[in-house]
Amino acid sequence: MTHSPTETEIKLAVPNARTARKLLRSAGFTLARRQVFESNVVFDTPRLTLRRASTLLRLRRAGRLCTVTYKGKPVPGKHKTREELELSVKDPSTISAIFERLGYRPVFRYEKYRTEYRLAHGAGIATVDETPIGTYVELEGSPGWIDRLAARMGFGESDYITASYAGLYLDWCRTRGVTPGNMVF
């Protein structure tokens, strides 16, 4: 599984999945991939070297698919833009063992239910992510495409979220006085 080597995206907080679906349909999106449960494991060194560098090494299981992802340091801006390299793997246990032999260990786990949507003629993708801390619409595509579609759905730049799910989870825990752990159902 290979994407463009650069990812540009934003998240938009929505009250629930029903509202998200309604917003996407009204903007012309149609279902591209039915809801799938995702389990994500973020790996890092014991000193959190990757986190401190704002990079990421992740192993994702989504249905029968398993993907290893490297994300580079984000470029500052109203959208989250960063290098993204992905590779499908058949044996998540072996790749986890390889990471651990190289000095990486699981440091954070997060889960979500993801549904994908596309426009008939568009170069981007929209997802509805239902997480333990809320529901988000994620728009991924060119900056202009993201801005046009967000506006079409009634959102402005002040609504753009560029934080990772780990960052959103830590903020959620902080505001509720909850000790952070893993963001799981």
Residue 146 neighbours by CB under 8 Å, 6+ apart: 8, 9, 10, 79, 124, 139, 140
Q: What's residue 1's pLDDT?
A: 43
Please state the three-class secondary structure of 52-82 as a single string. Answer: HCCCEEEEEEECCEEEEEEECCCECCCCEEE
Q: What's residue 105's pLDDT?
A: 98
Q: What is the CATH number of the domain that holds 167?
A: 2.40.320.10
- Report if residue 91 sits inside a domain: yes
Q: What's residue 121's pLDDT?
A: 83
- Report if residue 165 sits inside a domain: yes
- Report if residue 1 sits inside a domain: no
- Report if residue 161 sits inside a domain: yes
Is 55 within 8 Å of 70 (Cβ atoms)?
yes
- Report if residue 40 sits inside a domain: yes
Domains in the chain: how many in total?
Answer: 1
* Longest CA pairwise span in the chain (Å): 49
CA distance 69 to 85: 6
* Other CB atoms within 10 Å distance of the CB of residue 82: 20
Per-residue pLDDT of the chain (185 residues; tens, 9 = 90+): 444 599 999 999 999 999 999 999 999 999 999 999 999 999 999 999 999 999 999 999 999 999 999 999 999 999 999 999 999 999 999 999 999 999 999 999 999 999 999 998 878 999 999 999 999 999 999 999 999 999 999 999 999 999 999 999 999 999 999 999 999 99
Domain that holds residue 15: 6-176
* Beta bridge mates, 138: 11, 127
Is 63 within 8 Å of 35 (Cβ atoms)?
no
Q: What's residue 2's pLDDT?
A: 45
Cα–Cα separations (whole angstroms), residue 62 to 100, 107, 116:
21, 19, 12
Residue 58 neighbours by CB under 8 Å, 6+ apart: 40, 41, 42, 43, 68, 69, 71
- Cα within 13 Å of Cα(47), Cβ side: 2
